[in-house]
Amino acid sequence: MNNFTWIFLFIFSFSISAQNIKGKIYNEKSTAKNIGVFNLTTKNYTYTNEEGDFTIEASTKDTLLFSSAFYKPQQLIVEDKHFKITNVIELKTQVNTLGTVNLSNTPKFNPNKYQANLAMQIANDIKNRPHLYSPPPNPRGDLTLLIDFFKDLFKSKKMKDTPPVPITYKNFYALFNTNSVFTENLLVNDLNIERKNIPLFFDYCDTKKLNDNLLKPENKMILLDSLIKFSREFKKYIAETDRILIKD
């Protein structure tokens, strides 16, 4: 056989083995939307729609993971029968347990230190915006100070009227597939997230509602610090989930 024949047979065999699997995901009460459906073998993923339906490409023996931060994760090893039916997956709500808070380690409130910090903040504010603390220097007022006052007023109003946009799981997927700093190697080797749990970790980070300003290059160290903190919390969450699953 020539090279063209081998390439044709490879493509043909792949098209036969890779097929679409359809399904519907429920929770205890109704269908579940925005549930992550991840093919851990091919790294493909999708999410359920408003009616809980999903379609994803897979082959026999692929492993599918169904996960969301609010449900216990489930896995499915693909068999031939799964291509012939609409697969029904039922997810159980994840019950999060909080550890005991040790109040003896909580720092005590120091009124003197608080007053000193407040006085320093007021002094710095007076230095930076003196027009807010003193009358204009002449009866007619200082036009420059008046303009600065209205700039601050409208800037403050604009900031209040514009709600922050949170980082979603889709943003995390895009970031870790295009950025030279935020990579799979960082997740696995530095944050100690198992490869199979990366989709679930992104879901977990989604629930934290970080401001999308952190996606800017100048804020990458702040974002990294947040991810380090989340990875520690997430590993405790996974350990607790595994403990519950083993117990059940």
Q: What is the pLDDT of residues 41-70, one digit of tens each?
A: 888 888 999 999 999 999 999 999 998 877
Q: What digits encode the pLDDT tens for the residues 155-193?
A: 655 555 567 899 988 888 888 888 888 988 899 999 999
User: Would you state the structure tokens that stand for residue 86, as one six-digit string?
Assistant: 């609409």
- Phi then psi for 166, rounded to 5 degrees? -80, 155
What spatial distance separates the first Cα and last Cα of the chain, rounded to whole Å?
56
Residue 233: CA atoms inside 13 Å, Cβ hemisphere, count? 17
pLDDT at residue 240, as a whole number: 78
What pTM value is reported for the model?
0.43
Burial class (CB in 10 A: 0-12, 13-18, 19+), 200: buried
Query: What interhelical angle do 169-178 and 198-206 show, nearest 10?
Result: 130
Long-range Cβ pairs for the range 44-47 (8 Å, 24+) = 45/173, 45/199
Which amino acid does the sequence have at 27?
Answer: N
pLDDT for residue 82 is more than 60: yes
Residue 58 exposure: Cα atoms within 13 Å on the Cβ side? 28
* Residue 39 burial (CB count, 10 A): 19
Q: What is the pLDDT of residue 118?
A: 58
Q: DSSP state, 74? A: E
Q: How confident is the model at residue 93 (pLDDT cuts 50, 70, 90)?
A: confident
CA distance 62 to 80: 11
Question: How far is 132 from 129, CA to CA, in rounded Å?
Answer: 6
